[in-house]
Amino acid sequence: MEGAKSKKRAAEQSPHKSKSPKKAKTGKEVKGSKKAKKEGPQVKRASSAYIHFTTDFRKKLKEKCEKNGDPLPKANEVAKMAGEQWKKLTPEERAPYDQKAQEDKERYLKECGKFEKKESDKPKRAQTAYFIFLGEFREQMKGKQSEGDQKIPALAGEKWRSMSEKDKEKYKQMEAVAKKKHEAAMEEWRKKNAGKEPVQPVKAKLTAKKAPPKKVQLGL
């Protein structure tokens, strides 16, 4: 009898208590634990010129490593290498990536339904000497196979860098003429559109109102 009582007391005082059965999750709890999915199609954001460059850089580096049988560097190392290479690029070498970024931005705005052609009659900016040269180079390369499967902008950049200042002078003069034409066209455009720009309302300065003094009730 004493033995049975002592066993009962030991069981009651034991630190290992019986586990209570788990409560079944209700539908409300399960729903709340999951992140709500965004409705509707998601538009991919536009990438900057640098992002387009790094994507191209990673692709070329991967192909080079696979060709040579070398291991691909870690992501942070690749990012560092790309950043250093980007700093060394000339404006001419960056031009293709700037163009990609602009096209990507227009694509994003179109998909968002926010793209509107504003000031369609506004004269376009004058082309730089390099872009005038690039236009001529594209015409010359039409129907020709690019060397080593290189893209035309890359080949144009190489040729431009190898040209002497004397050879570039022709394009610089064309740039100067284009700038003068653009300035004249802009002056005409401003006269034509004078007074059409909406007047921005002037925001009135808000002055903080002083709170009325609190009435003090005197106890009688």
- In terms of pTM, does the model score above 0.75? no
Cβ atoms of 93 and 157 closer than 8 Å: yes
- Judged on CB neighbours under 10 Å (0-12, 13-18, 19+), 157 is buried
Q: Which of 199, 115, 218, 133 is nearest to 172 (CA)?
A: 133
- Of 65-69, 93-97, 144-148, 182-186, least confident by mean pLDDT is 144-148
What pLDDT is stored for residue 199 in this prediction? 37
The angle at the Cα of 93, spanning 154 to 137, to the nearest 5 degrees, equals 45
Tell me if residue 178 falls in helix, strand or coil: helix
Work out the angle between the directed axes of helices 49-68 and 91-111 (0-180°, nearest 10): 110
Per-residue pLDDT tens digits for 157-166: 888 999 999 9
- Listed residue (39, 50, 37, 142) closest to 96, CA to CA: 50
Predicted confidence at residue 153, as pLDDT, reads 81
